[in-house]
C-alpha cells in the first residue's frame, strides 16, 4: 500500500469514514459499521474497496492471490459495477483489517451439508455474518473468495459509481438520473466526459449513495466473458514480483535450519558456518537456527554447513508407527463425528458383503515458490512483506514476538507463487520476524531452501478408511465408511491461533455430505493422535474422501454388475449434481468401463465446497506402462464469472489430483520425510499429462473453483485402472501398485 502512503503525504484526502465499511459490507444490517481499515493513518478511502485519486482508480482486492486468479476476479467484480475496464485500474491487496472478514468461509464451517437448502441451514449460514465479523478473519481459503465477494465487491463498485455520478450532478446542476458512466468517466447528457479522478474530491464530501440496484448479468460487460488476467502478462515476461523477488535498500538475506515441529536444537556450533564468506551471523530462533548473510546463496551454503543437532518432539515420528496409530484408531473406534447415519447399516450389512481398507499417504504442498518473508523492524514498528492466506494471524504473531501493539505491525501481502494450502501457515513469517528483530533498521528477506520446505511442510494427513457395503443387482443397498485421521483443524489452529473444541468435521468432509440416496449410509470420523504436523491441502478432507468413497462405490458397482455412470446417476438425489453427471457422460462419450483392449475408463463424483464435480479418466496399457489418454471434468459453480480462468482451475485441479494419486507420498522417519526435494515428490509432469476437456454448468449456487476439481480425480483414475487391468488399487500413490509410462 505504498501508493496510499504517497497519497496521504500529498494530502489527497478523499472519501469518508462514514462511507467505509457500511455499504460494502452490508452494514445496514448492524447497528455499527465495521472499522475503516484506512482510519487512523491519515488516509481516507472512498470505500474500503475503491480508492480514487488524481492519478486514477485503485481497486482493493483483499483475498490473497496464489495463482487461482483471485486478485483479478475481485477487481473485475468491483469494476463491473464501477464501469471501468479492470485492466486500466491499479489492483492492490490492501491492508490487513477486520473489515475484510470472510463470511463465506465461516459459513462452510457450519455443520450443514452444502446441498442443504432447508430453513435451518440457510438461517445459520446467514447468521455466519455475525461470528465472521466478530472473528474478523481476512482469510483466503476454502474456495470462498468468489462467493464471499460476489455481492459486496459489486456493491462497493456500484456505490462508488453512483456517488461519483452524484458529485457530477451537483457540479453541473443536473439530476443523477440524467447521467451515465462508461470506461472510468461520468457522461453528461451533452456528451461531455468527466473522468472519475476529477470528481474524487467532491465525491468524498458527499454522503455515499446507497440506493443501488446491482445489474443483471445480461448487462455485464466483463464478468462472465473471456477476460485476460492482467497478471498473466507480467508472469509471462518475468516482470511479476512475488514475495521472494522483493528487493529493498540495505536488505540482508537469511535462511533457516529448523528442528522437526515441536522439537528443539540439541547442539549448535556456529563457528564453521559463521566463518564462510558472506555470512554475517548465525542466530538461534524458536525451534531452529537462522543464518544471516549478504546474499541468499551465502545464507543457504552456510545453513547447509551448520554443525547442528536437533531433537524431535515426544510423539511418534516414524511412518510405521503412524500407520499403526491410524489402525489403532479403527480398533478403538472412539467416534469423533458421525454426521451421516441413514437407515440401519448394521442390520443391512451381513457376512459375505464387501469390505475394503483404503490408505491415503501424507502429501506435501510444495508450491513452486519456496516459503519466504521479508521483515523490517525499526522505530517501534514492524513491516512484513509476505504472501499469506491468513494476514491477521501473521500480524497477531508478529505483535507477540516483537512486543509491539498490532497497530504497529504492517503487512503487505504479496503475489504468491502457488500455495495449495501451504500459506495458511505462518511459520516462515514468525522466523523472519525473529531474524529481523536481531538487526533492527535493516530489512531481512528470509528464503527457505526446497529441502527445508519438504522437511517442514505441514502435510496432508495420512489416513486409513474402512468400508463395508452391500450391493444387489438393484443397486447399492448399504455403505458404512469409517475414516481415521489426525485432525487438520486441531493441528493447524494449534500452530496459528488456538485449537477449537469439538469434532473435526473435515475428517469426513467429501463423504458424509454427498448427495447420494443410499438407503443405509453411515459415515464415521475417528480422530487419530497427532504425530507430525498436518494441515489443509488443496480440497482438504475431500481430497482423500473423494478417493475413499469414489473407490468404494466403484467396487460395489462392479460387484453388482452395474455400470458406474448409471450407478452414480441412480444414487444421486441432487439435481445440479445429476446434471453434472449427465453432462460428463456426454462430454466423455461414456459407453461403459471398457474402452477397447487394454483400455479402461473410470468415473468418480464429489461435491466439495458446494460444487458438484465429476470426472472421467481413460487409461491404456502400453509396453512402457499405464498411460493416461484422456481426462474429462464437469463442475457446477452457479455462475462462471471468469470462464478462461475457471476452465484452468478445473483442469488444473483435476491434474493436481491425478499427479499426486499416481506419484506422491511423504514417508516419515524421525519426524522428517524421506522425500527431500521434487525428484521424490514430482506431482505431474508434462509427459504424463493426458488430454483434458472440461465443462462448467450454472445450475447451482455461486461457488468458487480453486479446490473442487481435485477430489474426484484419484478415484476416477483408480477406477479406470481397475477397468483396464482388473487390478483394484486401494492405496495411494498408485505407483506403488502399477507402473505408469
Q: Which residues bind other proteins (CB under 8 A)?
A: 66-69, 228-229, 231-242, 244-245, 247, 253, 277-278, 295-298, 300, 366-370, 416-420, 447, 449-451, 644-645, 648-649, 651-652, 655-656, 659, 677-679, 682-687, 689, 691-692
Largest CA distance in the chain: 85
Choose between 238 and 403: whose C-beta lies nearer to other proteins. Answer: 238
Least CB distance from residue 225 to other proteins, whole Å? 13
Q: Give the Cα separation of 270 and 622 in Å (integer).
A: 54
Q: Give the Cα separation of 656 and 682 in Å (integer).
A: 11
Least CB distance from residue 400 to other proteins, whole Å? 30
Choose between 173 and 249: whose C-beta lies nearer to other proteins. Answer: 249
Task: Name every residue whose Cβ is closer than 8 Å to that of residue 280 and which is 6 or more positions away in sequence.
Answer: 252, 292, 293, 294
Q: Which of these, 488, 481, 726, lies nearest to 626 by C-alpha position?
A: 726
Least CB distance from residue 237 to other proteins, whole Å? 5
Q: Which of these, 617, 605, 610, 551, lies nearest to 578 by C-alpha position?
A: 605
Choose between 167 and 386: whose C-beta lies nearer to other proteins. Answer: 386
Choose between 535 and 651: whose C-beta lies nearer to other proteins. Answer: 651
Q: Give the Cα separation of 444 and 164 in Å (integer).
A: 42
Choose between 337 and 692: whose C-beta lies nearer to other proteins. Answer: 692
Measure Cα distances from 187 to 82, 174, 179, 563 in Å.
Answer: 13, 12, 6, 61
Least CB distance from residue 510 to other proteins, whole Å? 20
Least CB distance from residue 419 to other proteins, whole Å? 8
Q: What phi and psi, each to the nearest 5 degrees, are found at residue 627?
A: -120, 135
Least CB distance from residue 347 to other proteins, whole Å? 45
Helix, strand, coil proportions of the chain in percent (round to 5)? 35, 25, 40
Helix (H), strand (E) at residue 169 = helix 145-172
Choose between 243 and 602: whose C-beta lies nearer to other proteins. Answer: 243
Q: Give the Cα separation of 149 and 642 in Å (integer).
A: 14
Least CB distance from residue 322 to other proteins, whole Å? 25
Q: Which of these, 315, 725, 717, lies nearest to 551 by C-alpha position?
A: 717
Choose between 247 and 498: whose C-beta lies nearer to other proteins. Answer: 247
Choose between 684 and 738: whose C-beta lies nearer to other proteins. Answer: 684
Least CB distance from residue 239 to other proteins, whole Å? 6
Q: Give the Cα separation of 730 and 537 in Å (integer).
A: 20
Least CB distance from residue 437 to other proteins, whole Å? 23
Assess contact for 718 and 358: CB atoms under 8 A: no
Checking phi first, is residue 286 left (phi over 0); if not, alpha (psi -120 to 50) or beta? beta
Least CB distance from residue 566 to other proteins, whole Å? 29
Assess contact for 388 and 249: CB atoms under 8 A: no
Least CB distance from residue 607 to other proteins, whole Å? 22
Residue 460, Cβ density class (10 Å: 0-12 exposed, 13-18 middle, ≥19 buried): buried
Least CB distance from residue 440 to other proteins, whole Å? 22
Q: Which of these, 167, 165, 160, lies nearest to 210 by C-alpha position?
A: 160
Choose between 103 and 253: whose C-beta lies nearer to other proteins. Answer: 253
Q: Give the Cα separation of 25 and 117 in Å (integer).
A: 23
Choose between 210 and 689: whose C-beta lies nearer to other proteins. Answer: 689
Least CB distance from residue 423 to other proteins, whole Å? 11
Choose between 251 and 399: whose C-beta lies nearer to other proteins. Answer: 251
What would the DSSP string read from start to end of 241-273? Answer: -BGGG---TT-EEEEEEEPSTT-EEEEEE-HHH
Choose between 401 and 631: whose C-beta lies nearer to other proteins. Answer: 631
Choose between 685 and 739: whose C-beta lies nearer to other proteins. Answer: 685
Task: Name every residue whose Cβ is closer than 8 Å to that of residue 551 and which is 6 or more positions away in sequence.
Answer: 356, 358, 604, 715, 718, 719, 728, 729, 730
Least CB distance from residue 295 to other proteins, whole Å? 4
Q: What is the DSSP letter of 723?
A: H
Task: Name every residue whose Cβ is closer than 8 Å to that of residue 598 and which is 6 or more positions away in sequence.
Answer: 620, 621, 724
Q: What phi and psi, each to the nearest 5 degrees, are found at residue 633?
A: -140, 140
Helix (H, G, I), strand (E, B) or coil at 235: helix
What would the DSSP string read from start to end of 411-463? Answer: EEE-B-S--TTGGG--HHHHHHHHHHHHSTTS-EEEE--HHHHHHT--BBPPE
The helix-helix angle for 564-571 and 575-587 (nearest 10°) equals 160
Least CB distance from residue 622 to other proteins, whole Å? 13
Task: Name every residue whose Cβ is closer than 8 Å to that of residue 351 and which is 6 or more positions away in sequence.
Answer: none
Least CB distance from residue 691 to other proteins, whole Å? 7
Choose between 306 and 395: whose C-beta lies nearer to other proteins. Answer: 306
Least CB distance from residue 637 to other proteins, whole Å? 17
Choose between 273 and 552: whose C-beta lies nearer to other proteins. Answer: 273
Assess contact for 380 and 352: CB atoms under 8 A: no
Q: How far apart are the first and last CA of the chain?
A: 49
Choose between 177 and 686: whose C-beta lies nearer to other proteins. Answer: 686
Choose between 91 and 528: whose C-beta lies nearer to other proteins. Answer: 91
Amino acid at each position: 500500500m505504498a501508493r496510499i502512503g504517497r497519497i496521504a503525504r500529498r494530502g489527497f484526502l478523499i472519501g469518508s469514514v462514514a462511507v467505509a465499511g457500511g455499504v460494502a459490507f452490508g452494514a445496514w444490517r448492524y447497528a455499527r459499521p465495521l472499522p475503516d481499515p484506512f482510519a487512523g493513518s491519515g488516509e481516507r478511502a472512498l470505500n474500503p474497496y475503491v480508492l480514487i485519486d488524481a492519478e486514477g482508480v485503485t481497486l482493493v482486492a483483499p483475498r490473497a492471490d496464489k495463482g487461482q486468479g483471485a486478485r483479478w476476479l475481485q477487481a473485475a467484480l468491483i469494476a463491473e459495477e464501477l464501469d471501468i475496464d479492470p485492466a486500466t485500474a491499479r489492483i492492490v491487496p490492501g491492508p490487513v483489517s477486520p473489515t475484510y472478514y470472510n463470511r463465506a468461509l465461516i459459513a462452510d464451517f457450519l455443520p450443514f451439508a452444502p446441498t442443504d437448502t432447508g430453513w435451518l441451514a440457510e438461517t445459520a449460514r446467514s447468521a455466519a455474518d455475525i461470528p465472521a465479523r466478530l472473528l474478523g478473519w481476512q482469510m483466503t481459503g476454502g474456495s470462498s473468495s468468489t462467493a464471499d465477494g460476489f455481492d459486496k465487491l459489486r456493491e462497493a463498485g456500484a456505490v462508488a459509481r453512483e456517488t461519483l455520478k452524484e458529485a457530477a450532478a451537483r457540479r453541473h446542476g443536473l439530476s443523477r438520473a440524467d447521467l451515465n458512466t462508461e470506461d472510468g468517466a461520468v457522461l453528461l447528457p451533452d456528451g461531455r466526459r468527466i473522468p472519475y479522478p476529477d470528481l474524487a474530491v467532491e465525491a468524498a464530501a458527499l454522503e455515499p449513495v446507497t440506493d443501488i440496484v446491482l445489474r443483471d448479468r445480461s448487462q455485464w460487460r466483463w464478468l462472465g466473458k473471456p477476460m485476460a488476467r492482467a497478471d498473466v502478462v507480467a508472469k509471462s515476461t518475468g516482470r511479476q514480483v512475488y514475495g521472494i523477488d522483493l528487493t529493498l535498500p540495505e536488505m540482508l538475506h537469511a535462511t533457516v535450519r529448523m528442528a522437526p515441529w515441536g522439537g528443539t536444537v540439541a547442539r549448535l556450533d556456529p563457528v564453521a558456518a559463521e566463518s564462510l564468506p558472506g555470512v554475517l551471523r548465525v542466530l538461534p530462533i524458536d525451534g531452529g537456527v537462522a543464518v544471516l548473510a549478504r546474499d541468499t546463496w551465502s545464507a543457504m551454503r552456510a545453513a547447509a554447513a551448520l554443525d547442528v543437532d536437533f531433537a524431535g518432539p515426544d510423539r511418534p515420528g516414524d511412518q510405521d508407527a503412524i500407520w499403526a496409530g491410524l489402525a489403532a484408531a479403527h480398533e478403538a473406534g472412539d467416534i469423533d463425528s458421525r454426521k451421516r447415519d441413514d437407515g440401519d447399516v448394521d442390520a443391512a450389512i451381513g457376512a459375505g458383503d464387501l469390505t475394503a481398507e483404503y490408505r491415503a499417504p501424507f502429501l506435501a504442498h510444495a508450491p513452486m515458490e519456496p516459503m519466504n518473508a521479508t521483515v523490517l523492524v525499526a522505530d517501534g514498528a514492524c513491516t512484513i512483506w509476505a504472501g499469506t492466506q491468513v494476514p491477521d494471524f501473521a500480524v497477531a504473531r508478529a505483535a507477540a514476538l516483537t512486543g509491539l501493539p498490532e497497530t504497529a505491525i504492517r503487512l503487505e501481502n504479496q503475489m504468491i507463487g502457488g500455495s495449495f494450502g501451504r500459506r495458511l501457515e505462518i511459520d516462515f513469517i514468525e522466523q523472519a520476524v525473529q531474524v529481523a528483530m536481531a538487526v533492527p533498521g535493516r530489512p531481512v528477506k528470509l528464503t527457505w531452501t526446497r529441502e527445508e520446505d519438504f522437511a517442514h511442510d505441514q502435510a496432508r494427513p495420512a489416513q486409513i478408511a474402512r468400508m463395508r457395503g452391500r450391493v444387489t443387482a438393484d443397486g447399492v443397498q448399504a455403505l458404512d465408511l469409517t475414516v481415521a485421521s489426525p485432525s487438520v483443524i486441531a493441528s493447524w489452529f494449534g500452530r496459528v491461533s488456538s485449537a477449537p473444541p469439538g469434532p473435526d468435521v473435515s475428517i469426513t468432509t467429501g463423504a458424509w455430505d454427498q448427495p447420494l440416496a443410499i438407503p443405509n449410509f453411515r459415515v464415521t470420523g475417528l480422530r487419530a493422535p497427532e504425530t507430525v504436523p498436518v494441515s489443509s491441502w488443496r480440497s482438504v478432507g475431500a481430497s482423500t474422501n473423494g478417493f475413499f468413497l469414489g473407490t468404494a462405490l466403484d467396487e460395489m458397482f462392479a460387484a453388482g454388475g452395474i455400470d458406474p455412470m448409471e450407478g452414480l446417476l441412480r444414487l444421486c438425489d441432487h439435481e445440479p449434481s445429476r446434471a453434472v453427471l449427465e453432462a460428463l457422460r456426454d462430454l466423455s462419450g461414456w459407453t461403459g468401463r471398457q474402452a477397447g483392449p487394454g483400455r479402461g475408463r473410470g468415473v468418480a463424483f464429489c461435491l466439495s465446497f458446494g460444487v458438484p464435480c465429476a470426472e472421467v479418466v481413460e487409461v491404456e496399457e502400453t509396453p512402457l506402462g499405464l498411460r493416461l489418454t484422456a481426462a474429462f471434468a464437469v463442475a457446477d459453480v452457479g455462475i462462471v464469472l471468469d470462464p478462461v480462468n475457471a476452465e484452468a482451475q478445473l483442469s488444473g485441479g483435476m491434474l493436481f489430483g491425478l499427479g499426486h494419486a499416481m506419484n506422491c507420498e511423504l514417508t516419515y522417519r524421525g519426524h522428517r520425510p524421506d522425500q527431500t526435494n521434487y525428484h521424490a515428490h514430482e506431482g505431474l509432469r508434462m509427459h504424463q499429462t493426458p488430454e483434458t476437456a472440461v465443462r462448467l454448468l450454472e445450475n447451482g449456487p455461486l461457488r468458487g473453483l480453486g479446490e473442487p476439481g481435485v477430489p474426484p480425480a484419484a478415484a476416477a483414475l483408480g477406477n479406470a485402472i481397475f477397468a483396464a487391468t482388473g487390478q483394484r488399487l486401494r492405496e495411494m500413490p498408485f505407483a506403488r501398485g502399477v507402473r505408469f509410462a
